Amino acid sequence: MAGTSYWDYLHLDQLLGAQGGVDGTNVSSDELTFIVVHQVFELWFVIGLREVRLARDTLASNHVDETSIPTVVHHLRRLGEVLRQGVAHFDLVETLAPQDFLAFRDKLFPASGFQSFQMRELEALLGLDDAQRVAGGPADPIQHILDAAGNTPAGRLAISRIRALATEGTLHAALDAWLHRTPIDGSSPSDAQDEACVDAFVDRWLGAFDAHLHRTEEHLASTRGPDASIAARFASARASARTFLHATDVQEASRARRSRVRAAVLFIESYRHLPLLAWPRLLLDTLVETEEQLVLWRNRHARMVERVIGRRIGTGGSGGVEYLDRTATLRIFHDLWTVRTLLLPAEANPALLHADAYGFSKG
């Protein structure tokens, strides 16, 4: 009996029979390139979605063992690599001159990557906040998929998966829960004095931040002379640090929780030399790296689009490059990015009271 064949295992009859475009046959080499690059992207998304789901599932457990954090990092790294590969594929699309694309573009209306179910699912699974989506894009990803011929097996699957996130949770939500219960200077949310301990940590840290900013400001003033606009910028940096760490920018009902999550990010990033914080810190860095790849993907796509079709309206009906550039300003893991503005040189960090809770060295 013959064993499995390469052809059957990879379902190549279906895969290689799917490049006929609208006409089903006789596409030009330019259109073939266009079709195949999109198909390859959609396949990369299959891998990416699986990896995010696995990372989310591990991080969403009530107790995330130290030894499972490398697994989460592993899954996220694969998604990052998928996006990095995707960025490179736009070079191939740019082998189409504007007129080469215009030769078949009219066939596409209103089809567009705008309608990619998997792109919307990826954003939703990562935890992109719908309220923060840019104008001119999909305000509601489920409605967007429905509008884009959602009554197909793939559309229905994507919709049911996005709906399931309401109970299963997003990667962002799982990260938030994990960060919220991270012990900060030895204190956990279940400890009676937790709020006071975390507040004291934040106050000590803000003191160190102010002192650091003061030194930088003095240094600048000594080299550039007094400058009211620079002084105002430093005052604003101090105020922003307080707004962020006290979470006064969020609704009062969620303020205490947000404030603890942000303190945890600051704590993990600042004391990364402590053995038990090394992997958590790598996880945070990997999340930032992964989101950076997504932003680079959006940017690279926008530059390719600008080169090939200029600033005309997209086949999906959006403002084209103008819309795409705004999507590149979207961020999912806001707190992880914002903390980077606040970090201090290691020697300026305030000493911890309970560094011994995190491994063998003193903080």
Residues forming the site for ligand HEM (CB under 6 A) = 37-38, 41, 93, 96, 101, 112-114, 116, 119, 137, 301, 305, 308-309, 314-318, 320, 323-324, 327
Q: Which is nearer to ligand HEM, 83 or 198 (CB)?
A: 83
- Backbone phi, psi, residue 184, to 5°: -110, 120
Q: Tell me the closest approach of the beta carbon of residue 312 to ligand HEM, in angstroms.
A: 8
To the nearest 10 degrees (0 to 180), the angle between helices 334-342 and 275-309 is 110
101 or 234, CB closer to ligand HEM?
101
Burial of 282 (0-12, 13-18, 19+ CB in 10 A): middle
295 sits in which H/E element:
helix 275-309
Instruction: Decide whether 48 or 169 has the Cβ nearer to ligand HEM.
Output: 48
Question: At closest approach, how far in Å is the CB of 6 from ligand HEM?
Answer: 26
270 to each of 39, 129, 262, 345, 351, how far by Cα in Å?
42, 27, 12, 9, 11
Residue 228 CA to its chain's centroid (Å): 37
Measured from the CB atom, the residue of 260 and 300 that comes closer to ligand HEM is: 300
Element holding 126 (H helix, E strand): helix 117-126
Contact 125, 52 (CB under 8 A): yes
Residue 95 Cβ, how far from ligand HEM at the closest point, in Å?
10
Q: Which of residues 270 and 327 has its CB atom nearest to ligand HEM in the complex?
A: 327
CB of 308 to ligand HEM, least distance (A): 4
Closer to ligand HEM at the Cβ: 183 or 314? 314
* Nearest approach, Cβ of residue 43 and ligand HEM (Å): 10
**Collapsing DSSP states into helix, strand and coil, what is residue 273?**
coil
* CB contact burial 215-226 (16+ within 10 A = b; e otherwise): eebeebeeeeee
Q: Which residue has the tokens 């103008």?
A: 322
Q: Are 208 and 344 in contact (CB under 8 A)?
A: yes
CB 117 within 8 A of CB 145: yes
C-beta of 92 vs 282, nearer to ligand HEM:
92
Contact predicate 353/186, CB 8 Å: yes
Find the shortest distance in angstroms from Cβ 34 to ligand HEM.
6
CB of 90 to ligand HEM, least distance (A): 7
